[in-house]
């Protein structure tokens, strides 16, 4: 589960092609968190890392026949 603050940041990013590009260009979790903080969100590096881990874990595993 991600924080409401991070959810609001992701919603802002979803509505802006420029922010999407900036987020895609980040290399580290800290860079993504800093982008959010620069926009006024109170987000930690760890929150970004956990959100990414949650996203990966929620991807369904396809059957290997």
Give the pLDDT confidence of 5-46 residue by residue, as tens digits: 999 999 999 999 999 999 999 999 999 999 999 999 999 999
Would you state the pLDDT for residue 62?
75
Contact 17, 59 (CB under 8 A): no
Q: Hey, what long-range contacts does 34-39 have (CB within 8 A, 24 or more apart)?
A: 36/6, 36/9, 39/9, 39/12
Spatial separation of the C-alpha atoms in residues 32 and 41, rounded to whole Å: 11
What pTM does this model have? 0.81
Query: What's the pLDDT band for 61 if we cut at 50, 70, 90?
Result: confident
- Asked if the model's pLDDT at residue 64 lies above 80, the reply is no
- Asked if the model's pLDDT at residue 58 lies above 90, the reply is no
């Amino acid at each position: 589960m991600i924080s409401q603050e991070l959810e609001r940041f992701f919603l802002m990013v979803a509505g802006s092609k420029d922010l999407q590009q900036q987020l895609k260009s980040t290399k580290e979790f800290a860079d993504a968190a800093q982008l959010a903080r620069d926009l006024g969100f109170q987000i930690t590096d760890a929150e970004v890392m956990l959100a990414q881990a949650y996203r990966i874990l929620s991807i369904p595993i396809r059957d290997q026949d």
